[in-house]
Structure 1
Amino acid sequence: MSLFGGSSKGIRFEAFGTSHLIVIGLLVLCMIGLYIGRNKLKELNLRKVEFGIAGLLIVADLLYNIWMVKNDIWRTSDSLPLQLCSISLYLVILLLLTRNKLVYEIVLFTGILGAMQAVLTPYLFFDFPHFRFIHFFGTHSLIILVPLYFTWVIGYRPTIYSIGKVFLFLNILMPFIMLVNKKTDGNYMFLGGKPETKSVLNYLGEYPYYIVSLEGVLLVLSLLLWVGLREKNKKLRKETEISM
């Protein structure tokens, strides 16, 4: 079997199989480690590391496209970088290169919520150690970890207005994605139908009504994420810092 081939025969991915559970466990450990070590990381100059991760993601995306072309599976209907996680990947790269606060506000929600759903219910056919398995979980994990790094280490925080910005961004993007879907017979951002694999969309009604339901779910999850990561009461935060 080829670890770079286009056929999943012999290494077909199994949801919540051993390799999948290991990846989820490693991601959770990285998130915990990032949070526990946030104060020590604040003392370091990690700008070169940020550039390095951005470069790594650019190379990973380039290799992925080369792999698709080489195996004759690159198609305008599903290979353009217009899925939510692909868009979030480019936003993460932009955030790492610029440290732009608006980019952070958008990718904090699109990245964490979108990539987390992708990690738990992946649209994937190749198991470890295939290139696509490593690429898929490596990039999606960084889409989650980078915004958390900017929250816990760099000190950026979302506001209630950040949620409005995310919804504005997505709803401006949606008509363009629908037009591309129509022109390419694609299903980017699953705006043309549900994915073949199980996902949260299976519980949100039939097409096109699940799109409205999904926006409701996104709003609830965004509010929960904002509550968990927003800047807490400054007075309480200062008292906590003094006591430490």
Structure 2
Amino acid sequence: MNGQQFEMFSLAHFSAIGFIVFVIALLFLAREKWASPIKNKALLERIFAFTLLWFEIMYHLWMVSTGRWHLYESLPLELCSLTLLASILLLWTGNRHLFDFVFYAGIGGAIQAIVTPVLDLSFPHFRYFHFFYTHLGIILTALYFVWMKGYRPTCKGIWKTMLVLNILLPFITIINWAVDGNYMFLRMKPTNGSLLDFLGPYPWYILSLEVVAVLLFILLWLIVGKRSSR
């Protein structure tokens, strides 16, 4: 496998979680300074977007070079892959419709992924850094646009995000059937444990996950959205 096996809730896992919490706290503490006009802010946003894109490209090149890239599991069709691409576009364009999707689906999906990672290789392998950096990047992008750019998550944005997700589901289901894949875990649960283990058997956990998503999005709106609008 050319690297140490990743173990959930190991020192490497908790270290990554601790670093992510630390960086988010720094962003929060710097929000007033960064909210004021800063020279070259747009350039910094695009540089950050480029680093996220670079990590993702290097990840796919690594998979190709090691024979790991497969049509049934390597397409960017997981929720975090989609929100990562949306985050890159948001950093580049500032589109407010993308912001809703990145804030709700991005933060919600990235938190779940960080707590219960679907990851095989641990520190100091490139895959370890790619996984946690890109998921941190999704969360930072969403919170940056709230705390630094003045974007406001709305209750309407919750339902817009749910609509987008439910439009995507049948298309991804068809792709899963065509390539024998399991994108978005629409055919089975991850084998190494996740939130889905508490949501019932297939296919009922998909419906349960929709309820959990709405509740999580409402919680994000109450904690971040309503507070940021005061």
Normalised by the shorter chain, which TM-score bucket? over 0.9
Q: CA deviation at 1:182?
A: 0.1
Residues 20, 136 of structure 2: 8 Å contact kept: yes
**2:192, 2:89 → 1: CA distance?**
30
Match of 1:102 in 2: 97
Letter in 2 for 1:56: T
Of the three residues 84, 88, 91, the one matched with 2:86 is 91
Deviations 1:93-147 (A, max 9, x none): 0100000011001110111010111111001111111010011111111111110
Q: CA deviation at 1:8?
A: 4.7
Deviations 1:59-102 (A, max 9, x none): 11111111000001100100000000000100000100000011
Q: How large is the RMSD of aligned CA atoms in angstroms? A: 1.2
Of the three residues 116, 120, 128, the one matched with 1:125 is 120
Is 2:220 aligned against 1:222?
no
Structure of larger gyration radius: 1
Match of 1:53 in 2: 48
Matches within 5 A, 1:1-244: 7-8=1-2, 11-43=4-36, 44-45=38-39, 46-232=41-227, 237=230
Q: Note closer, same or farther for the CA distance 1:26–1:88 as it changes in structure 2 (3 Å cut).
A: same
Q: CA deviation at 1:231?
A: 4.1
**1:232, 1:194 → 2: CA distance?**
35
What's the TM-score once normalised by structure 2's chain length? 0.96
The percentage of aligned residue pairs carrying the same residue is: 44
**1:8, 1:174 → 2: CA distance?**
35
Q: CA deviation at 1:19?
A: 1.4
Residues 15, 122 of structure 1: 8 Å contact kept: yes
Give the number of aligned pairs. 228
Residues 82, 189 of structure 1: 8 Å contact kept: yes
**1:39, 1:122 → 2: CA distance?**
33
- Structure 1 runs of 4+ aligned residues shifted over 6 Å read none
**1:24, 1:160 → 2: CA distance?**
28
The DSSP-based 3-state class of the residue aligned with 1:12 is coil
